[in-house]
Structure 1
Amino acid sequence: MALKAVLFDMDGVIVDTEPLHRKAYFKTFNELEIIVSENLYTSFTGSSTKKVCETLINEFDLSHSHEDIAHIKRTYFKDFFYNDEEFDLIPGVKQLIEHYHENDMKLILASSATMTTINMVFEKFGLEKYFSGKISGADLKESKPHPEVFLLAAKMANEPVENCMVIEDSTNGILAAHRAQIFCSAYRSQHSKNQDYTLANIVVSDYAELELDKITKYF
């Protein structure tokens, strides 16, 4: 047993798109002339755009289709994605990715985001050359906490699960890694709220703690 592959989640691990989604949604609410409370907005966490749009239609008796609303939201999101000056990689993650790459680790992205968003992030920040595979959970039948996405990622890396490590930041992602029986490093960022790290094998708040000389003792 030796570490050969690292399976990265994306949102909250490589980038934090949550503030962009928030800004895009609130612009959309303004355009639809509806007032969405913080409580209602918080209840959308982890839901697909389609589900959010359907909830808005029912809640506010809107005449728009969910496709119309999703289109408005996506347009705003794209604008913020390319033009918001605060949007950047999570501190230290690029160095960690380069470090693994230089040490011949196989890197696979296993994210719940759509492939469109994954490709936008990879293109904007020049990550393509480091990763040997990408999986979008949006294309799978089951989503996290189901282990499918990580089992597929291990298969894509062509490694048994005991030679893999997952980097996650959410309760559902950590549970998915645990169910897949893959060693899980949880990243606790200053944005992480109410996440449960109990099932993670280690918890870090600085990516330097995941450099190979610090973690090989676990493998």
Structure 2
Amino acid sequence: MIKAVIFDLDGLLINSEPIWKRVEIDVFSRHGMPVTEEDLMQSVGLRIDEVIMYWAQYFNVEVERDEIQAEVLSKMQEAIIKEGLANKMPGVDEVCAYLQDEQIPMAVASSSHLALIQTAVEVLGLKKYIRVIYSAEFESHGKPHPGVFLAAADYLRVDPLQCLVLEDSVNGMIAAKAARMACIVVPAKDEMDRPEWGLADGVIPSLEGLMELVENLEQ
């Protein structure tokens, strides 16, 4: 039986992946890492510090990680405040209202920094629904390590086996399954047919189709 739901943030609650790509391409290119949108698909779901070092190694350049990270996070904070509400994903309000009516507690557990998660939750108008906000920045490893989800479950005081994770990335799905949690993925349209989703407990094109799947999982 599902007793708690843990949401990812980027690409699930908010269509922020295009914003991340825009910011990363801009900032990284000025630090010797000329990534493309296609390149950045390889680092979706990782923490920003991990993304920076991944591409620094790829391009064989020495970088000031903390400086680049601060620049990216500052630009993302501005963008979320300005563009966040317009990029809320379909079905978010309906799902949160449904879970609240069912008295199922909710958390957001993301690879993004805590300040960004908090800003997004506030801008999207979800603060009234979300009991726990947790960031992988406080873990020794980001996704696909399960730590971020296990910590969120601990703060919710719910057994991981009774948690449902909603994700949109392969790394996030792997993290959820490694935490022994049920996982439903909501991929981008051009990723619906990825074979990796076979590991998930369900695949839906939008959060609007979630309620029926949750009811089936509880049976």
| TM-score computed with the length of structure 2 as normaliser | 0.81
Deviation at 1:186, TM superposition (A): 1.2
Distance in 2 (alpha carbons) for counterparts of 1:196 and 1:157: 29
Return the structure number with greater helix share.
Answer: 2
Once the two structures are superposed, residues 26-84 of structure 1 have per-residue CA deviations (whole angstroms, 9 ceiling, x without a partner) of 33356x3868252655555445434555555994868x733333333333323322234
After superposition, what is the alpha-carbon deviation per residue over 1:139-191, rounded to whole angstroms, capped at 9, x for unaligned? 11132222222222222222223322111111121112212221111112326
Percent of paired sites with the same residue: 23
Write the distance in 1 (CA, Å) between the matches of 2:21 and 2:117. Answer: 18
Alignment coverage as a number of residue pairs: 215
Gaps of at least 5 residues in structure 2 are: none
Instruction: From the superposition, tell whether residues 59 and 97 of structure 1 become closer, same or farther in structure 2 (CA, over 3 Å).
Output: same
What is the match of residue 203 of structure 1? 203
Partner SS for 1:11? coil
- What whole-Å deviation, never above 9, does each CA across 1:70-128 have from its counterpart, x for those lacking one? 33333332332223488411111121111111221111112111101101101111211
What is residue 187 of structure 1 aligned with on the other side?
A: 186
Q: Structure 1 56/159 Cα, relative in aligned 2: closer, same or farther at 3 Å?
A: closer
Equivalent position SS for 1:197: helix
Change (3 A) 1:103 1:190: same
**Paired residues for 1:1-219 under 5 Å:** 2-28=1-27, 32=30, 36-38=34-36, 41-53=40-52, 55=55, 59=59, 65-84=64-83, 87-190=86-189, 192=191, 196-211=196-211, 214-219=213-218
Larger Rg: 1
Change in CA separation of 1:115 and 1:192 when aligned onto 2, cut-off 3 Å: farther
